[in-house]
Amino acid sequence: MTLLRIVRMSFQPEQTAVFKQIFAEKYPHISRFEGCLSLRLMQDERVKNIFYTISEWQSAEHLEAYRQSALFNETWAKTKLLFDAPPKAYSLVDTVF
């Protein structure tokens, strides 16, 4: 069962360009990480300092392996310095009804 991960991040307005640069540099590595099926960055239409990453993973275990990796730790260390509010993360799986 695949897992969809959505992370909402609010940045200091003057730091959005820095975040975009970090994401552009890390995107090729994250998107090729084992188990990552897709990765997108989206920006709020009206509130320009709010971004969402939307990624799909083969499993929760693949996501957790990424979250424990040096790649994640390096990326997150740079990114979290730019926030103006705590991020919110959601992990979603398909529901059968």
CA torsion angle for 23, 26, 28, 31 (degrees, to 10)?
A: -80
Backbone angles phi, psi at 14, to 5 degrees: -75, -5
Q: Does 97 map to a domain?
A: no
Contact between 44 and 80 under an 8 Å Cβ cutoff? The reply is no
Contact between 89 and 64 under an 8 Å Cβ cutoff? The reply is no
Contact between 54 and 3 under an 8 Å Cβ cutoff? The reply is no
pLDDT at 97: 73
pLDDT at 95: 83
Q: Does 23 map to a domain?
A: yes
* Domain count for the chain: 1
Q: How far apart are CA 90 and CA 34, in angstroms?
A: 20
Q: How confident is the model at residue 71 (pLDDT cuts 50, 70, 90)?
A: very high
pLDDT at 70: 98
Residues 10-57 pLDDT 10s: 999 999 999 999 999 999 999 999 999 999 999 999 999 999 999 999
State the pTM of this model: 0.94
Domain containing 68 — which CATH number? 3.30.70.100
Q: Does 83 map to a domain?
A: yes
Q: How far apart are CA 64 and CA 92, in angstroms?
A: 14
When the pLDDT of each residue in the chain is averaged and rounded to a whole number, the result is 97
